[in-house]
Amino acid sequence: MSTLQTAFTQFHDNIKLEDENQTLRDKRDILLNKLKDEISTDAASYTTFNQGSYAMNTGIKPEDGDYDIDVGLKFDINKSDYTDPVVVKKWVRDALVGHTQSVSIRRSCVTVQYQQDNEPIYHVDFACYAADNDDGKLYIAKGKEFSNADEKHWEVSDPQGLIQLVQDKHSGKDAEQFRRVIRYVKKWKVRKFSSDGNGAPTGIALTVLAYNLFSPSSVYDPITASRSYNDFDALHNLIKNIKNKFSMIFKDSSIYYTISANLPVEPYNDLFDKMTLKQKTTFHDKIVAMDDKLEEVKKKTTLSEKCTLLQDLFGSDFPILTTRSMVGSSESA
Amino acid sequence: MVDLEKVIRDVNIKQGLSFQPSSHPTEDGNSYVACYSGHYLSYGEITIAFEASFPYALPDIFIKNTSKPHVHVTPAGKICLTDESALLLDINRPEQLVIDCLDRVAQILSILPGTDLYQEELKKEFLSYWGIYTPGIIYFSILQIPKKEGFIQEFPLFKYGKSLLLANSTDDANRYICETLGLDSTAAVDSPEEYALVIGLKQGCAFPSPFKQHNWFSVMHYIRDNTDAQISHEFFKLMNARVKNKIINIIFISPGADGNILFGVVVGFSNRRKTPMKSSIKTSVMQINLLREDRDYLLARGGSALSLTDKRVLLLGCGSVGGYLANNLCQMGITQIDLLDKDTFKSENVYRHFMGYDALRRPSSKSKADLLRGVLSDKYPDVDIDSMNYQDRSVEAVILSNPERLSQYDLVISALGEPTINLAINKALVENNIPTPFIVCFNEPYGIGGHVITTNLSQKSCLRCYYSDFLEGTLRPFRGSLVAPNQNFKKSLSGCSSTFVPYSALDSQQTAIHAAHKAVDILTGKLNRNNFFTWRGDSSLLLSQGYEVSDFYNSENPSDEITNPKCPVCQRRHSVS
């Protein structure tokens, strides 16, 4: 039996980054072992944790095959003892350098690019934190090696708090739908914005929008005593809510749309503040187009027509299914 | 074996009595192993008679002096204590059983004639007393009693062995004698032997005392007092007829909440010259007992609802479930049934079908519907079954090509086990606004259970609701299935030309019983909204075959009507209403 929900389920299977992706785990562990063995004796001790979409179970497979793993390194240091946070990042960079073709210090992390012949590309981002501060909070090391001094600083951060919040927002099957819908929106973003990601909302920004604006959609069947989840409705409702979240502003005699969403944990920054007004307006227009498309899907009567339209939004990972003319039966008399 | 001597000794001591061994109280009392007599309270001598089965059965108790007309006492003085089948006896206290019986004796004997309690008890037991003084006069009756209150009408009496048979007509009498009883044609009757005047008494009529030797005048008084004025008038008009020697039979029908009660008198006139019957003096009156064999009585005796005999039911499918179900319907008093089935009955059907090899031996058609019609008509001669002997007996040809036909029935039941056809019937009912209730019943494999779906009683749902995806309304497997989806249960022992789903006759009977209950509930007006019923069997056989049960197997039956807002068949009706 094929339904639109079956199509969404298959789509989800096609795009989701497995929670327990062994290959990714292995790559991460190789690097963590290397770090442990090679890190300078001057370096402070540390503990590690997973962060990012991989940890939140909202990751999708990258279209370019460049898998992304986010690892947090909590160093037992007081940030006031390390006025230059890049020192800490260098411990990590220096320990791992030479292991792969590319290890570099980036603004918020140390990135290890990892590739072997005929294998997918991976990069592991190590975010470095000072964990033993006077105020008990966690601070992330910001800044590149040759940045200006004012760009090198410690910034309060709560990556594990964020993971916890997203995890606790919904429970059970509702939570599964929540994570599925986040993945749908992320996939849409990848399809609809240029591949370099410039001008696109970040994954975390979309996740936080969903955190604020998603509500689960399902119906209870009293016979089967089970809930049927309606991902289409849940997605459509979220998109409509995001659309309504925009506000219109006039600037230089043009109409723009703006949107904001604060990180629900420290430092509570607006996750859209790096986007220009024009980029936000483009984001708005694409959301409106998506809403229109979903409206159109609703009006189609056959499953294959609906799937075809959804493929426009999500690409070929979205399957085109046909309603079968026969279903199984266990009846006899 | 209980020591009866000791039992009686204990009773004597506890109750201050002095029962002594005695002879049998009756001529035919040979079945008693011991009897004890003694004086009991103010009732004179009574006898306690034990059968070998005591204490598993109560003793019989007789009263010697039967001059007083007691209720619950036979002419031989046997006191009807109670209906033992409704009692659980404490066999470890035999003396107490006797004491309790004696208490009951005191209770019964203390009911005196003329009291309200006496009348009430008499009414309960009337038929067991009527005719006790004229035990030989027993008529049989297959009379279909007119369904009206207060009437007076003549009906024929036919020679029937050494007795008489009261019937509506000669045909009815012969059908009973030859078909129902299967007697040979020499027993058939040509014309009535006599006639009986059948009088329908008024509601709340009294019963004449069975302990009295009635005379012609008390009979006429009884009729005057217990019929409506017009009936009484008509009766006395008839009694103006002048007769010399004549015998007339008068049968009374007393309407009661639990059905009619029939009793009668035979009156003999032996006038010296022709005299109006009503003023005849030389008369004799004897009580007539009637043994009822009529359908209404037998159905009521079988616990069925009399109101169902005028209902017409279409049963689709005469297979395993349909066969048992057809029998159930007949036994419940649903006697007008059309059977539709295009299959033939084969030996491979025998072990899970209501009909066995004897049906196969019938020389007639091998059609399941024809054979079932034959078997049921033999069992229940009063039923009116049509096996819809069309050239093409498919539901498609007979029903779906002309759905209006469905409106002729009070109920349509499908025991086809074919969801495709069932859904087509459902659609035809909904789209043509045919209000006939529709029951669909079927088994699931390996004894896991079965379902009875009742639809078209209320408008909120229909059969398609069970087969529509809850989100999108597209066709899906049965929502209430007890087995997990996407499993194939068809088995074949001899190639794919004879595949079958494994289930047993017990499963079919279970499903058929529940379906019959719903049918009765619908036809009696008790069930008036759509309903979904599932019975669950043991899952071990199914699981042992490597199959899986559904979540619903482990859930409870839903109490509310099963609807589906996405149902493509009835949602239009929802939006209109």
Tokens 């009694």 — which residue?
Answer: B239
CA distances A148 to A81, A88, A143, B356, B373, Å, are 19, 16, 8, 98, 100
- pLDDT at A41 exceeding the cut of 50: yes
> What per-residue confidence (pLDDT) applies to B392?
93
Question: pLDDT 10s digit of each residue in chain B, 577 long?
Answer: 789 999 999 999 999 999 999 988 776 656 899 999 999 998 899 999 999 999 998 999 999 887 777 888 877 888 988 766 678 889 999 999 999 999 999 999 998 887 888 878 877 788 888 887 777 789 999 999 888 878 999 999 999 888 999 999 999 999 888 878 888 888 889 999 999 999 999 988 888 888 778 899 999 999 999 999 999 999 999 999 999 999 999 999 998 777 789 999 999 999 999 999 999 999 999 999 999 998 888 878 777 766 788 899 999 999 999 999 999 999 999 989 999 999 999 988 899 999 999 888 887 789 999 999 999 998 988 889 999 999 999 999 999 999 999 999 999 999 999 999 999 999 999 999 999 999 999 999 999 999 999 999 998 899 999 999 888 888 999 999 999 988 888 776 666 666 777 899 999 999 999 999 999 999 999 999 999 999 999 999 999 999 999 989 998 888 778 889 889 999 866 554 4
Token pair for B474: 């597209």
Contact B479 A230 (CB under 8 A): no
Rg of chain B on CA atoms, in Å: 31
At residue A120 the predicted structure's pLDDT band, cuts being 50, 70 and 90, is low
Rounded to 5 degrees, φ, ψ at B256 are -135, 165
Contact A224 B511 (CB under 8 A): no
Cite the DSSP H helix spans in chain A: 4-15, 22-38, 53-56, 86-96, 159-169, 172-192, 203-213, 231-245, 277-299, 303-314
Contact B501 A330 (CB under 8 A): yes
User: 3-class SS at A145?
Assistant: coil
List of chain B residues whose C-beta atoms are within 8 Å of the C-beta of residue A225: 551-552, 555-556
List of chain A residues whose C-beta atoms are within 8 Å of the C-beta of residue B416: 333
Locate the chain A residue with the closest alpha carbon to B441.
Answer: A333
> What per-residue confidence (pLDDT) applies to B270?
96
Give the Cβ contact number of residue A34 at 10 Å: 16
- B223: Cβ–Cβ under 8 A, 6 or more apart, which residues? B199, B232, B235, B250
List of chain B residues whose C-beta atoms are within 8 Å of the C-beta of residue A301: none
Rounded to 5 degrees, φ, ψ at A180 are -60, -45
Closest chain B C-alpha to A60 CA, distance in angstroms: 26
List of chain B residues whose C-beta atoms are within 8 Å of the C-beta of residue A222: 558, 560, 562
C-alpha span between B569 and B553 (Å, rounded): 27
Locate the chain B residue with the closest alpha carbon to A298.
Answer: B472
Residues from A in contact with B at Cβ < 8 Å? 1-5, 219, 221-226, 228, 230, 303, 323-325, 327-333
C-alpha span between B36 and B53 (Å, rounded): 16
Token pair for A71: 């690892």
CB distance A240 to A268 below 8 Å: no
B40 CB within 8 Å of a chain A CB: no
CA distances B102 to A89, B38, B327, B382, Å, are 106, 12, 46, 46
CB distance B167 to B142 below 8 Å: yes
Closest chain A C-alpha to B361 CA, distance in angstroms: 24
User: Which of B442, B482, B550 shows the shortest C-beta gap to A333?
Assistant: B442
Tell me what the pLDDT averaged over chain A comes to: 90
Contact A330 B472 (CB under 8 A): no
CB distance B341 to B367 below 8 Å: yes
Cite the DSSP H helix spans in B66-145: 94-109, 116-129
> What per-residue confidence (pLDDT) applies to B470?
85
Locate the chain B residue with the closest alpha carbon to A332.
Answer: B417
The pLDDT tens digits of the residues spanning A150-204 come to: 889 999 999 999 999 999 999 999 999 999 999 999 999 999 998 666 789 999 9
Q: Which structural domains are found in chain B, ordered by start?
A: 4-110 (3.10.110), 138-299 (no CATH), 306-576 (3.40.50.720)
Rounded to 5 degrees, φ, ψ at A46 are -150, 160
Residue type, B251: I
Residues A262-298 as b/e (b if ≥16 CB within 10 A, e otherwise) read ebebbeeeebbeebeeebbbbbbebbeebbebbeebe
Q: Which structural domains are found in chain A, ordered by start?
A: 22-157 (3.30.460.90), 162-314 (no CATH)
Mean pLDDT on A32-50: 91
> What per-residue confidence (pLDDT) applies to B355?
95
CB distance B131 to B289 below 8 Å: yes
B359 burial via Cβ count (<10 Å: 0-12, 13-18, 19+): buried
Eight-state DSSP code of residue B240: T
ipTM: 0.71
Among A228, A218, A190, which Cα is nearest to A59's?
A: A190
C-alpha span between B246 and B277 (Å, rounded): 9
**How is B199-232 classified by DSSP, letter by letter?**
EEPPTT-----TTS---HHHHHHHHHHHS-HHHH
Contact A224 B552 (CB under 8 A): yes
Contact B444 A330 (CB under 8 A): yes
Tokens 């793993």 — which residue?
Answer: A69
Mean pLDDT on A229-252: 96
Please enumerate, as own/partner, the contacts of B426-430 that have beta carbons within 8 Å and a separation of 24 or more.
B426/B455, B426/B456, B426/B462, B426/B463, B426/B464, B426/B569, B427/B464, B427/B569, B428/B399, B428/B400, B428/B403, B429/B403, B429/B455, B429/B456, B429/B462, B430/B456, B430/B462, B430/B569, B430/B570, B430/B573
User: Which of A228, A325, A329 shows the shortest C-beta gap to B470?
Assistant: A228
CB distance A126 to A103 below 8 Å: no
Contact A332 B552 (CB under 8 A): no
> What per-residue confidence (pLDDT) applies to A224?
78
Contact A224 B532 (CB under 8 A): no
Locate the chain B residue with the closest alpha carbon to A302.
Answer: B474
> What per-residue confidence (pLDDT) applies to B576?
47
Q: Terminus-to-terminus CA distance in chain A, angstroms? A: 24
Closest chain A C-alpha to B500 CA, distance in angstroms: 9
Contact A332 B558 (CB under 8 A): no
C-alpha span between B483 and A214 (Å, rounded): 35
Angle separating helix axes B320-331 and B368-379, nearest 10 degrees: 30
Contact B471 A221 (CB under 8 A): no
Contact A331 B560 (CB under 8 A): no
User: 3-class SS at B547?
Assistant: coil
Contact A332 B551 (CB under 8 A): no
List of chain A residues whose C-beta atoms are within 8 Å of the C-beta of residue B441: 333
Contact B417 A332 (CB under 8 A): yes
